[in-house]
């Protein structure tokens, strides 16, 4: 069987889509609607869709009268507890016209390192998908600690895609594709395809960006994409504004070709391996 191509995404059996905090919170909260519209189209044609969504802390901040992301763990946990509830409510309201029910799945890095917890998570998501429920996955910020966090939801999305045997992973960003260096700098060139084994060390993706609402950046997306592709999952990195064309197989974003002969890896190793892939 040939490796999945970008144009094959509409016919994929199972797709994981990841959206970041900055794309769905604050002044961009209205973008939940268009994202859900695109997911519903994929769902209607029979694709099993899993959404990995950041945004719990960012969504909860206004309800705690916070102007910026809290730095202490306890306040982050409090904001997440409030925000996760509101976030799922907003998604469910957007899904309601399409007759789609959301199912909340909260995970920690420890869950995926523990074989029993990992098996339970896989079984629960398999059953949700079998019932045509749309699982919405996030890190369980209310119980995660600094020492055992995924660090960013790009990593979580790559691990979820591997956990459930997804065909494709779509990592939504604030820019249309990855560039050879920050897109505002002279000489920056768009990267359309990354083949298996391509050396990315010459590209200047930059360090992890920590902004007022979330964590992430081009470097985390590149490393998470490489991790998932190594496990046999095709990965597309593109803008949240292009989620519809992305799921329709349009020539957008940066496509990481999946390894046609993926090497078996343990989930425990994958949880820790992403940091070694950055750069």
Query: CATH number of the domain that 268 lies in?
Result: 3.40.1160.10
173 is in an annotated binding site: yes
Domain-located, residue 59:
yes
Q: Is 153 annotated for ligand binding?
A: yes
1 within a domain of the structure (yes/no): no
* Res. 211 pLDDT band, cuts 50 70 90: very low
State the residue range of the domain holding 69.
Answer: 6-277
Query: Is 221 within any annotated ligand binding site?
Result: no
Does 278 show up as a binding residue in the annotation? no
Percent of the chain with pLDDT over 70: 86
The tokens for 60 are: 């909860």
pTM equals: 0.89
Report the C-alpha gap between 247 and 235 in whole angstroms. Answer: 11
Helix/strand/coil for 55: coil
Q: What angle do CA 144, 150, 151 make, to 5 degrees?
A: 100
* Domain-embedded: residue 157: yes
The count of domains in the chain is: 1
Which residues, listed in sequence order, are joined to residue 172 by a DSSP beta bridge?
238
Please compute the mean of the pLDDT values over residues 71-87 and round it to a whole number.
Answer: 91
Q: What is the mean pLDDT of the chain?
A: 87
Strands 254-256 and 234-239: antiparallel
226 in any annotated domain: yes
């Amino acid at each position: 069987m040939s490796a999945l191509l970008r144009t094959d995404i509409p016919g994929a059996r199972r797709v994981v889509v990841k959206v970041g905090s900055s794309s769905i919170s604050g002044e961009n909260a209205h973008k939940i609607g268009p994202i859900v519209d695109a997911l519903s189209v994929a769902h209607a044609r029979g694709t099993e869709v899993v959404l990995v969504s950041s945004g719990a802390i960012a969504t909860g901040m206004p309800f705690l009268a916070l102007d910026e992301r809290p730095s202490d763990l306890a306040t982050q946990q409090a904001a997440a507890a409030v925000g996760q509830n509101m976030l799922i409510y907003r998604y469910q309201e957007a899904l309601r016209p399409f007759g789609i029910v959301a199912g909340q799945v909260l995970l920690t890095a420890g869950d995926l390192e523990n074989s029993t917890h990992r098996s339970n998570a896989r079984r629960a998501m398999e059953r949700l998908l079998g019932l045509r429920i749309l699982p919405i996955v996030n890190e369980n910020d209310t119980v995660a600690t600094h020492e055992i966090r995924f660090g960013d939801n790009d990593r979580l999305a790559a691990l979820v895609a591997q956990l459930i045997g997804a065909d494709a992973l779509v990592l939504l960003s604030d820019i249309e594709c990855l560039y050879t260096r920050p897109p505002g700098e002279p000489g920056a060139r768009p990267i359309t395809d990354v083949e298996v084994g391509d050396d990315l060390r010459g590209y200047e993706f930059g360090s992890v960006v920590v902004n007022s609402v979330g964590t992430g950046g081009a470097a985390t997306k590149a490393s998470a994409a490489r991790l998932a592709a190594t496990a046999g999952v095709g990965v597309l990195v593109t803008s949240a504004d292009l989620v519809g064309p992305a799921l329709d197989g349009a020539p957008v974003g940066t496509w990481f070709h999946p390894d046609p002969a993926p090497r078996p890896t343990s989930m425990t190793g994958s949880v820790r391996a992403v940091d070694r892939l950055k750069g």
